[in-house]
Amino acid sequence: MTLEGMFSITDWQETTEKTFEQGSKLNTAKVSQHYSGELTGTSEVFYHMHYSAAGDATFSGFEYINGVIDNQACRLVISHTGTFQQGVASSHFTIIECDTIKALEGQTGYFTSAEGGKADYVIGE
């Protein structure tokens, strides 16, 4: 099963947890999103990020999606690993839990950000 679509960021709350003398920092963020496409719904993402002095970042986190796939309600938990470089965020992720569509568990995917807080996603690459 391959699922494609887009999500939009609806809220981003970020906090700096630690700064370093050379200009890098560790941040946490709570992000709310709205999904459209073959997966529709809303999500909350909890990221841990390391920003370099140049402003690029490496991040990891977990996302909880309350959604619908093929007219079936589902709740998914996704594990993310990604980067933010030159204004573009991208992540590879794995679905670690899905309450109603067990075949999605273990599926991988990715997203790449576009302008305006939007990103294209693919699940089941």
Q: Is the pTM of this model over 0.75?
A: yes
Q: Mean per-residue pLDDT for 95-120?
A: 92
Contact 54, 39 (CB under 8 A): no
Is the pLDDT at 47 greater than 80? The verdict is yes
* More confident site: 125 or 62: 62
Domain 3-123 CATH superfamily: SO1590-like (2.40.350.10)
pLDDT digits (tens, 9 = 90+) for 1-23: 789 999 999 999 999 999 999 99
The answer to whether 92 touches 110, Cβ cutoff 8 Å, is yes
Collect all residues with Cβ–Cβ distance below 8 Å to 109 and sequence separation of at least 6.
Answer: 3, 92, 93, 94, 95, 121, 122, 123, 124, 125
How, if at all, do strands 118-123 and 3-19 pair? Answer: antiparallel
Would you place residue 124 in the very low, low, confident or very high pLDDT band (cuts 50, 70, 90)? confident
